[in-house]
Amino acid sequence: MNRFLAPAKVNLFLHVMGRRDDGYHLLRTVMTFFPLYDILEMDVGGNEVTLACHPPVTGNPEQNLVVRAARLLQKNCNCRQGVHISLTKNIPAAAGLGGGSSDAATTLMALNRLWSLGLSQTELAEIGLTLGADVPLFIGQKTALAEGIGEQLTPMETLPTFPLLLINPGVPVSTPAAFSGLNGRWPERDANWSLAEGLQENDALTWMENDLESPARCLAPEIDTVFQALHQQGARMVRMSGSGASVFGVFESDNQLIFAAESIKSQYNNWLVFSGRTFHIHPFASG
């Protein structure tokens, strides 16, 4: 049995730059990894792709991105090998944390290795992009500035890491609904803007804005309560990740982070509360 970790991501900021004719939105975002993991265990054999997901996230396993990724790989490579995958879900679904995309990317990378397909990282990213705009980030395996619809990646490993308290209030937010809430309007920004490497932490905090926060708050008012709770605990900066409803607070130190986590857990026992420091290199890179 082969075991792989699929980490969550957080968007340190997310700018919506426009929309293409095909409906895909153009983004500018920095995504980094957070130590919250789905676990994939794979047993290669036969010629079928099967999945056991705990707990289930789709009514039909055939719709799970893990199954779709494996079958897409079979089709693209004319591969007749099979695999049984056991997926343990720890990253909440529809939470702005990229859980499904991370699972799909890990599936593509793992089966490329286990099935000895020999695809390059670029080839895997091209396949992954057809499954979701966040998938190439996880295949790239590094903190990155993502532009376009998410496929244009610039590694940003020199950015600081942050002690984060990550909270999900247990309310799913539809990504299409969050984008629709913009009503086709987004702030005007310089299309030629570039993010210099080596920013100091205080500088990095100044551009942590998420254009989807306002529409997501309309869809899930619970997000407002999470913001208030994190500010009350002394977070230096509070932002939503992706299209929500997960929200993170940046703290001065790990000790303050631990204290805030315990305090919020005692007040809101129906929230999912995770604490940890962001990191830059995907675990698959050293696995």
Instruction: Tell me the pLDDT tens digit for each residue of 238-273.
Output: 999 999 999 999 999 889 999 999 999 999 999 999
Q: What is the pLDDT of residue 74?
A: 97
Q: What is the pLDDT of residue 205?
A: 66
Q: What is the pLDDT of residue 227?
A: 97
Catalytic residue among 38, 134, 142, 211: 134
Catalytic residue among 9, 38, 89, 103: 9
Q: What is the pLDDT of residue 60?
A: 83
Q: For residue 85, give Cα distances in angstroms to 50, 80, 82, 98.
A: 6, 16, 10, 19
Q: Both tokens of residue 137?
A: 């980030």
- CATH code linked to domain 2-156: 3.30.230.10
Give start-end residues of each CATH 3.30.70.890 domain in the chain: 163-277
Q: What is the pLDDT of residue 208?
A: 73
Q: Is 134 a catalytic residue?
A: yes
Q: For residue 23, give Cα distances in angstroms to 15, 149, 241, 246.
A: 16, 10, 22, 25
Q: Both tokens of residue 97?
A: 């944390």
Tens digits of residue pLDDT in 125-141: 999 999 999 999 999 99
Q: What is the pLDDT of residue 68?
A: 97
What's the fold here for domain 163-277?
Alpha-Beta Plaits (3.30.70)
Q: What is the pLDDT of residue 198?
A: 44
Q: What is the pLDDT of residue 196?
A: 53
- Asked whether 99 and 9 are in contact (CB, 8 A), the reply is no
Q: What is the pLDDT of residue 197?
A: 45
Q: Please list the ranges in the chain whose pLDDT falls under 50.
A: 197-198
Give start-end residues of each CATH 3.30.230.10 domain in the chain: 2-156
Q: Is 9 a catalytic residue?
A: yes
Q: What is the pLDDT of residue 24?
A: 86
Q: What is the pLDDT of residue 202?
A: 58
